[in-house]
Amino acid sequence: MFARDEDILKAAEDWRRDGKGVALATVVETWGSAPRPIGANLVIDEAGNFLGSVSGGCVEGAVVAEALDVIESGQPKLLEFGVADEAAWKVGLSCGGTIRVYVEKVE
């Protein structure tokens, strides 16, 4: 789901204020044809609710799953999805490009 940056950051702030664990995923690098630009965000809470988009929908499920681990562990992750990556095909990233997504816990 596409949302304005202000809405995504407001959701992160509201969820944290409500005592929820929260992670923020950000597209930090793209190569070739990529569904979302550098700087695109996805915010995820500990229940798996999310707002925003890092891939136009094609890898959101995988990013949400990794974000839940980041919320629990507190350790950030750099994820990469691309056409040569078997995982990318499984989650639907067949657009011909590569994206790197940084996922960090919001404190």
Residue 87 binned pLDDT confidence (cut-offs 50, 70, 90): low
Mean pLDDT of the chain: 86
Amino acid (1-letter code) at residue 33: S
What Cα–Cα distance (Å) separates residue 60 from each residue in 12, 70, 87? 17, 15, 12
Q: Give the model's pLDDT for residue 92.
A: 54
Contact of 51 with 69, CB cutoff 8 Å:
no
How wide is the angle at C-alpha 42 spanned by C-alphas 39 and 43, nearest 5°?
A: 125
pLDDT at 100 over 70: yes
Identify which has the larger pLDDT, 72 or 88: 72
Number of domains in the chain: 1
- The range of the structural domain enclosing residue 74 comes to 5-106
Predicted TM-score (pTM) of the model is 0.85
